[in-house]
């Protein structure tokens, strides 16, 4: 009935206005919570960060010097090993989907499987690695921890590779093949090289994500207060240390947990932001 009126009626305009205000409010709310979390982590964590924090081993409550050298090394070791396992297998799977079996029903099925795997909670991945590595060997180990992180990273890397390689124009492949290059050289020297920036971004984001994981490590690497000497035994790591320290009644341990939280937040967000901005500038 309003079809001939030149402007929306007051009621409709007010509905429109209120949803606009709501939309701005919701966006501000998101930013507010981000700021709140980052501010609290910085404010409470900064007091714990000093020389000892990085270079002294964990100590019982009330003892000084106390630091997190062992968890830092353990987290770096396990994340590093998980990258060595997860990235090659993930990239090769992505190459299979995009280059070897492109357009086949098999690729579609595997792609579906990968998408579902990406949604499997990290705690289930930890549980799975527990049942295949910890239970049969009768030993929690840093190696099992690294495998659980790799298993979480795998589908993410495969999906990124698949997505990025699909974007590479076919003309590149065809010209390389026409020059007489075997398929493996086409993939590794031409296609992967063309998709390099996108791939690196995706892989770095996946690494950032797993380096902050806690749940899978609870069942696999467990935790330890000693500097890791071998990945065949329970291995010290930052996130489980945060969990244990935060749940303890000791003020100095809780303070240390905030320091570790700050360290994790700064590294994970730092790497995430770096990967994204570096990529964005390259593509411009």
The one among 46, 84, 120, 278 contacting another protein by CB under 8 A: 120
Q: Does 93 bind another protein (CB under 8 A)?
A: yes
The DSSP-derived string for 127-144 is HHHIIIIIHHHT---HHH
**C-alpha–C-alpha distance, residues 75 and 242, integer Å:** 12
Q: Does 34 bind another protein (CB under 8 A)?
A: yes
Q: Does 165 bind another protein (CB under 8 A)?
A: no
Q: Does 95 bind another protein (CB under 8 A)?
A: yes
**C-alpha–C-alpha distance, residues 82 and 149, integer Å:** 6
Q: Does 153 bind another protein (CB under 8 A)?
A: no
**Smallest distance, Å, CB 152 to another protein?**
11
The DSSP-derived string for 252-273 is HHHHHHHHHHHHHHHHHHHHHH
Q: Does 172 bind another protein (CB under 8 A)?
A: no
Q: Does 103 bind another protein (CB under 8 A)?
A: yes
Q: Does 196 bind another protein (CB under 8 A)?
A: no
Q: Does 278 bind another protein (CB under 8 A)?
A: no
Q: Total binding residues for another protein by CB under 8 A?
A: 98
**Smallest distance, Å, CB 160 to another protein?**
14
Q: Does 194 bind another protein (CB under 8 A)?
A: no
Contact between residue 88 and residue 150 where contact means Cβ atoms under 8 Å apart: no
**C-alpha–C-alpha distance, residues 105 and 70, integer Å:** 48
The one among 68, 164, 206, 218 contacting another protein by CB under 8 A: 218
The residues, any chain, with a CB within 8 Å of residue 121's CB and separated by 6 or more, are 215
The one among 181, 194, 200, 227 contacting another protein by CB under 8 A: 181
**C-alpha–C-alpha distance, residues 189 and 83, integer Å:** 22
The one among 225, 227, 243, 248 contacting another protein by CB under 8 A: 243
The residues, any chain, with a CB within 8 Å of residue 136's CB and separated by 6 or more, are none
In this complex, which beta carbon is closest to another protein, that of residue 59 or of residue 246?
A: 246
Q: Does 104 bind another protein (CB under 8 A)?
A: yes
**Smallest distance, Å, CB 124 to another protein?**
5
**Smallest distance, Å, CB 47 to another protein?**
14
**C-alpha–C-alpha distance, residues 103 and 82, integer Å:** 30
Radius of gyration of the CA atoms of the chain, in A? 24
Contact between residue 221 and residue 234 where contact means Cβ atoms under 8 Å apart: yes
The one among 131, 169, 196, 282 contacting another protein by CB under 8 A: 131
User: Which among 79, 71, 77 has a CA at the least distance from the CA of 53?
Assistant: 71
User: Which among 82, 80, 78, 92 has a CA at the least distance from the CA of 160?
Assistant: 92
DSSP state of 212: T
**C-alpha–C-alpha distance, residues 23 and 29, integer Å:** 10
In this complex, which beta carbon is closest to another protein, that of residue 171 or of residue 178?
A: 178
Q: Does 33 bind another protein (CB under 8 A)?
A: yes
Q: Does 16 bind another protein (CB under 8 A)?
A: yes
Q: Does 13 bind another protein (CB under 8 A)?
A: yes
**Smallest distance, Å, CB 52 to another protein?**
21
């Amino acid at each position: 009935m309003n079809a001939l009126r030149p402007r929306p009626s007051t009621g409709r305009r007010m509905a429109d206005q209120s949803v606009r205000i709501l939309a701005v409010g919701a966006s501000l709310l998101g930013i507010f919570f981000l700021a709140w979390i980052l501010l609290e982590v910085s404010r409470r964590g900064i007091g714990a960060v000093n020389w000892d924090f990085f270079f002294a081993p964990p100590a019982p409550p009330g003892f000084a010097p106390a630091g997190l050298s062992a968890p830092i090394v353990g987290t770096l070791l396990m994340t590093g090993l998980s990258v060595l396992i997860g990235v090659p297998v993930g990239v090769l799977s992505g190459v299979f989907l995009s280059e070897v079996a492109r357009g086949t029903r098999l690729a579609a099925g595997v792609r579906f499987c990968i998408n579902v795997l990406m949604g499997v909670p990290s705690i289930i991945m930890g549980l799975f690695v527990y049942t295949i590595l910890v239970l049969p060997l009768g030993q929690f180990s840093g190696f099992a921890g690294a495998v659980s992180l790799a298993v979480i990273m795998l589908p993410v890397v495969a999906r990124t590779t698949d997505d990025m390689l699909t974007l590479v124009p076919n003309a590149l492949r065809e010209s390389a093949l026409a020059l007489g290059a075997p398929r493996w050289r086409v993939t590794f020297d031409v296609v992967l090289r063309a998709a390099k920036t996108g791939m690196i971004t995706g892989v770095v984001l996946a690494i950032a994500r797993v380096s902050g994981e806690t749940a899978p490590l609870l069942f696999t690497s467990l935790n330890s207060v000693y500097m890791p000497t071998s990945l065949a035994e329970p291995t010290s790591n930052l996130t489980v240390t945060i969990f244990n320290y935060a749940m303890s009644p000791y003020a100095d341990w809780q303070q240390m947990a905030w320091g570790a939280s700050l360290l994790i937040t700064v590294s994970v967000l730092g790497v995430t932001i770096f990967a994204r901005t570096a990529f964005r500038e390259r593509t411009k």
